[in-house]
Amino acid sequence: MTLRLAIVGRPNVGKSTLFNRLVGKKLAIVHDQPGVTRDWKEAPARLSDLSFIAIDTAGLEDAARDVISEGMREQTEAALQRADVILFVVDGRSGITSLDRTLAKWLRKQGRPLLLAANKCESNTDLSDAYALGLGDPIAMSAAHGGGMVDLYDALRPHVDAMQDSADDDEEGDKPIRLALVGRPNVGKSTLLNALLGEKRAMTSPVAGTTRDTIAADWEWNGQRFRLVDTAGLRRKSKIDETVEQMAAAESLRVIRLAEVVVLVLDAHAALEAQDISIADLVMREGRALIIALNKWDTIKNPAEVLKEVQARLDESLSQAGGMTVVPISALKNRKLDVLMQGVLNTYTRWDMRVTTGQLNRWLESMLEAHQPPLVKNRRVKIRYMTQRKGRPPTFVLFCGSHAEPPDSYIRYLVNGLRERFDIWGVPIRIEIKKGRNPYAEDKKAE
């Protein structure tokens, strides 16, 4: 098995900066404002030839001030239960505080190997008070500049070696489907993540914008592996006025681009507002498979009317997603989650589907007979044949004569026909046009 290293400490000591350095990417939001990290997140990390899982956690405080602080502490405690080794990070520049001493006592009771790191040691720093914590020699480091990584390597090496005899679970079986949960703030994305996992993996509260960072978790449903990713709520750009929220929104957009299937979570009481349409349109333009979850359905008094209204709005505003799957759910009450996941699998299958060239061209012949291509400059557009270039999303190449390309209206006619004939509902379909060579035009150029 792969060693899991939990990075813990009080707020703003550089935990997320260290996490990003170890994983080699800016996966965690880093900002001078304390408490930016609220949930824990994990990712594969490397330090020279050492491979392990790094876990970034929220800053621990002595006493919870509000529901957010209490939730942050609960999330950190949950992360420690999964860890094999704990790296306790203190601020070497400001010195040991009373909170550091309290946390050190608490961490010693967790029953995990415990390492001490003094961060922000860009110059000669007096670490004499760090020894008083009773955690052994502190590792002087600078996560921002990469200092002290050799000492961290030496401290981790024995723990990694002790786990090398176990097989790496990540190499077994097929790759998981990357599934992202997106939507506006406070629609229930984190509640849905927790309900699917059957545990409180992400912090939830009535406060909009509680989730600021992406939260990823591996999960299996009916034998299919998934990589679930919860994202921060997306608001209109004009309403984003904090640097932290801007960074969270940018990370959510990155997750959408890397996902295979995206579940757009809507509040059934205010479904398909302008921002919902914008998010759905972005997902489709990125070529991702999209399914809609109407959350809080258990509190809707006129379900048939609301569902009819949502379907009509989708047909009007997102015609490019024809036949998109919409599933009413209640994440809080665990209702219809199996229906949602079956819809995810069905949508993924359509998004990844392949059609043989023979099937395509027999279908294309019937489409041309039913409705011939229009005239362009008094000449009929000539369509020769069609082939599928790739899936994910289904992308087709239409080979035409050299005279002109079919107009957009005719391409829409073909796209709708593809959906009906090959059951490619609810996923983006792309048609690329390839015009033939005109030998007469080339002869004229040669002259």
Q: Is the fold of 4-169 the same as that of 173-351?
A: yes
Extents of the domains making up the chain: 4-169, 173-351, 357-446
Q: Which residues of 57-74 are buried (b: 16+ CB within 10 A; e: fewer)?
A: bbbbbeeeeeebbebbbe
Q: How far is CA 182 from CA 28, 30, 251, 330, 411, in A?
A: 18, 21, 11, 16, 30
The model scores a pTM over 0.85:
no
* DSSP reduced 3-state for 243: helix
What's the confidence (pLDDT) of residue 156?
93
What's the confidence (pLDDT) of residue 375?
87
What's the confidence (pLDDT) of residue 342?
97
What's the confidence (pLDDT) of residue 129?
84
What's the confidence (pLDDT) of residue 32?
46
Q: Report residues of the chain scoring pLDDT below 70.
A: 27-39, 61-73, 164-174, 203-213, 235-249, 320-321, 437-447
Distance in Å from the first CA to the final CA of the chain? 71
What's the confidence (pLDDT) of residue 213?
64
Say which CATH topology domain 4-169 has: Rossmann fold (3.40.50)
What's the confidence (pLDDT) of residue 332?
93
Say which CATH topology domain 173-351 has: Rossmann fold (3.40.50)
CATH no., domain 357-446: 3.30.300.20
What's the confidence (pLDDT) of residue 31?
42
